[in-house]
Structure formats: structure tokens, C-alpha cells
Chains A and B, each alone.
Chain A
């Protein structure tokens, strides 16, 4: 059973860069059947897709975040990473990584999520 685990700082200062890592176990990020997505959820609100990456390094980002987002992948470590620059309080959210079925689009499984608070 594939397992995903997010990690990174829980507190980021405004204007700085949020950086998170997702470690995949019991499965390979190099599978050609899947993308690997980042998704966030602001407290008490709905889900927002941030972007995905394929093992080749190709990416697709949410247009509303594209100017600030970079997703990268390290196949040797079986990890993907998220960088979100110039953060504000509006970026405070639970950040999830999820496996994303290529060509069909469903997310399964999800990591447990990690809360990132943007505050001075």
C-alpha cells in the first residue's frame, strides 16, 4: 500500500518561501501511470489544487499560483517537493501531497497533511 508523508516547517514568515517535502514509501514516484500532486486546504475551507509533477520532471500548475510555485522531484529519494514563494497569511493551510492517476485524474492515496502557518 503506497504511503505518502509530508514534512517541513510549520511556521513561515510573510514574504518568505514555504518549502515542503513529500516522501513516498511502498511505491515508486517513477511509475508512468501517476502524477504526484500538491493540494492545500485553508482552515475550515475547501480544497485547492496547487500542481502536479511527473517523474520526468514535467509539471502543471494552478494558474492562480503559477507565478509563485515550483514543484520538483527526486526519483533517487522517492520524494517530491513544493516551494511557494512570497507567502502571505492567505497561504496558511494544510498542505497535502497525493498520488494523481494520469489520464483519468483521481487522487489516492493522500498524505496526512501538514499545517503551515504564515505569521511573523
Chain B
């Protein structure tokens, strides 16, 4: 299957840790990338590869992968982390895949 799935919504208390997951068969062979999107803005890359953060992304963001599941973890969530998060990967035809996104609420 060439699909990626995410939980539609997740919430976290301010300062606590939250894990956002992405599942799909393609993740057994290819790393996921993660994007943060705030209302009215374009997505921003926050994680890629095994656990690589682009310049400017806080170190409270981390990534991991096991089997068919990739995870984005925010350790000590801040109010500004409230956003939609999308994972992306690719399939064996090099087509790019997106999951449906997770809406993160910081309480």
C-alpha cells in the first residue's frame, strides 16, 4: 500500500511531551519528513531523515522510526507549537506521499 496515516488530532498540556505518529508500509524502506503548518501559512520542514532538524528548528523537536511507524516528538511543548503536522515519505516509484495531518492542540 502507498498510503500514510496519522491520527487526526492530538492534545498536550503546556510543557509536556507529545508524540505524533505516522504509519505506512513505505516507512519500512524510506524515512519520513515532518512539516509544521500554522493557519494561513505554508508548511515548514521541521524534521527529516533519521533525526535531522533543519537550521532554526528548536531542539525540543526530535524524530524516530521503527518498522512501519515514524514519530515526531516534541519534548516540552510550547504554545507556539500548536499547529497542523504532516508527515511525508515516498514509495518505490519515487512518488511522494503525504498523510492526512495531525492537529496539535497545546492546552
By a beta-carbon cutoff of 8 Å, the part of chain A in contact with chain B is 37, 39, 46-49, 52, 60, 62-63, 96, 100-101, 104-113
Contact = CB atoms under 8 A, between A and B. Distances in A.
If over half of A's interface residues share one DSSP class (helix, strand or loop), that class is named, otherwise mixed; here it is strand
B95 A108 contact: no
Contacts of A107: 33, 35, 43, 45, 88
A104 B95 contact: no
Contacts, number: 60
20 contacts: A39-B98, A46-B99, A47-B43, A47-B86, A47-B88, A48-B98, A49-B95, A49-B98, A60-B93, A60-B94, A60-B95, A62-B96, A104-B48, A105-B33, A105-B90, A106-B88, A108-B48, A108-B54, A110-B42, A112-B42
Contact of A62 (B31, B35, B95, B100): B95
Interface string B66-101: 000000000000000000001011100111111111
